[in-house]
């Protein structure tokens, strides 16, 4: 019985170390995105950006859909960090959010999003234009 407990404890320790080594390999990079958004009830967005990861630069494309109270048009420039990625392609995916905002002229934006691969975007920036929204939105990022 005591041998079974020791064996079980050893298996738990090995599993914990395996999980830590996977997390230890995850890395981070920086992201800059420029997103143009327009809509009336249903809105759309599109843009481009770059990922800087392990000393290299990768081109990105963005696109998305908004549904809810959406009115106006804006240009948003976001900069920040992407974490929990092992390779550049991990940043690609669909990011979802529910939110609200108002920009008349120039406004500030801050957002934290994650995708299905576990990549986490922490972005801040400015939004210029006339835009009011209280919506469900999604942002798709693809590698170019």
Q: How far apart are CA 18 and CA 20, in angstroms?
A: 5
- Token pair 């392609």 in the structure block, residue: 89
Q: Could you report the per-residue pLDDT of 21-63, keeping only the tens digit for each? A: 444 568 999 999 999 988 887 788 899 999 999 999 999 999 8
Q: What does the CA dihedral 122, 125, 131, 132 come to, rounded to 10 degrees? A: 40
- Which CATH number applies to 27-143: 2.60.120, 1.10.3470, 3.40.50, 2.40.128? 2.40.128
Q: Could you report the per-residue pLDDT of 72-112, keeping only the tens digit for each? A: 888 889 999 999 999 999 999 998 765 555 555 566 677 88
Burial readout 47-56 (b: 16 or more C-beta within 10 A, e: otherwise): bebbbebeee
**The pLDDT value given to residue 76:** 86
Q: Determine the 3-state secondary structure of 32 from DSSP.
A: strand
**The pLDDT value given to residue 1:** 52
**The pLDDT value given to residue 24:** 53
Supply the Cα-derived Rg of the chain in whole angstroms.
Answer: 20
Kindly list the domain boundaries of the chain, sorted by start residue.
Answer: 27-143
Average pLDDT (132-143) is 72
Q: How far apart are CA 37 and CA 70, in angstroms?
A: 10
Q: How far apart are CA 51 and CA 31, in angstroms?
A: 5
Pairing of strands 93-114, 56-85: unpaired
Residue 90 DSSP class: G
């Amino acid at each position: 019985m005591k041998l079974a407990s020791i064996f079980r404890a050893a298996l738990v320790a090995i599993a914990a170390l395996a999980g830590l080594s996977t997390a230890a390999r995850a890395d981070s990079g920086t992201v800059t995105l420029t997103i143009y958004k327009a809509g009336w009830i249903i809105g759309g967005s599109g843009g481009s950006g770059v990922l800087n990861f392990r000393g290299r630069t990768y081109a990105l494309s963005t696109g998305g859909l908004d549904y809810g109270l959406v009115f106006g048009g804006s240009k948003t420039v976001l900069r920040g960090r992407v974490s929990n990625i092992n390779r550049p392609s991990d940043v690609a995916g669909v990011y979802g959010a529910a939110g609200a905002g108002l920009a008349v002229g120039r406004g500030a934006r801050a957002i934290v999003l994650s995708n299905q691969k576990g990549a986490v975007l922490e972005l801040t920036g400015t939004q210029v234009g006339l835009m009011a929204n209280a919506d469900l939105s999604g942002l798709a990022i693809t590698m170019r």
